[in-house]
Amino acid sequence: MQVCQVRLQTITKTWLGHVREFRPWFICCPELFCLFYRLLCKNIYQRKTSEGTDPMPFVGGIGMGILMLRYAWILQDQAMISVNVFGMLVNILYLTIYYIYSPKEHKTNALVGKMASVVAAILAYVEIENPDNIEYRYGMIVTAIFFLLIASPLIHLSEIIKTKNTDILPFPLIFMGTFVSSQWLLYGFIIQNNFIIFQNAVGLMLLLGQLSLFVIFPSNKADKFVKDSKHE
């Protein structure tokens, strides 16, 4: 039994060592990001309005990107730094297009202001926290915010069950988030970071739960997205 455990540990370490060489691939797939965001932007451009599209995932995505970028800087992980910079730029691009075609700019401005205040307060906390505790405590804060952002579409759950329609949910973002969370989960195992593993294990379950709603209550928007993605 002991010999088997030693062999298993050796095989696992060898596998992780090989995978670690390709770790940026697991967490950064620019082509997939660009495809989804191109389809979202195309839809808004064709309709000439962003009404009916929730800006929260993208405002939250920018805020989360900034916080995760700071966490990556604490860990001094270049792969995490690169992918979060890319994610922030994509979210900023989408939010800009959303804002251009938004009929209610003041609501978007208010949302951006609230997110900026929260991010600024957390970053200020980082500067005064004890360096010995910052990785753990900051990781806890980022994890809590991550869960709130991932679970935010579920506030519409009662309406979805009542109407038996999931058109209100952002299918492209949920679908993309499921893929990305699975990659981050794998990356967490590669670098053996408990916060990243816990974040994305729970996040993946939440996202899979949201995807299951599209199976139970079919969505016209989801079907259209799948058809459009095949043409791209």
**How far is it, in rounded angstroms, from Cα 144 to Cα 141?**
5
Cβ-based neighbour number of residue 121 at 10 Å: 9
155 to 71, 150, 159: CA distances (angstroms): 28, 11, 9
Q: What is the dihedral of CA 60, 210, 221, 92, to 10 degrees?
A: 10
Cut 0.85: pTM above it: no
**Choice between 228 and 190, residue whose per-residue pLDDT is larger:** 190
Top pLDDT among 129 and 54 is at 129
Amino acid in position 159: E
Q: Which of the two residues, 95 and 19, has the higher pLDDT score?
A: 95
Instruction: Give the residue extent of every domain in the chain.
Output: 30-226
Nearest Cα neighbor of 204 from 147, 130, 128 is 147
pLDDT greater than 90 at residue 172 = no
Q: Which residues contact 185 (CB under 8 A, 6 or more apart)?
A: 196, 197, 200, 201, 204
64-74 pLDDT, tens per residue? 889 989 988 98
Burial classification of residue 111, based on how many CB atoms lie within 10 Å of its CB (0-12 exposed, 13-18 middle, 19 or more buried)? middle
Tokens coding 44: 């808004």
Cβ pair 181, 204 in contact under 8 A? yes
Question: Residue 190 has what pLDDT?
Answer: 82
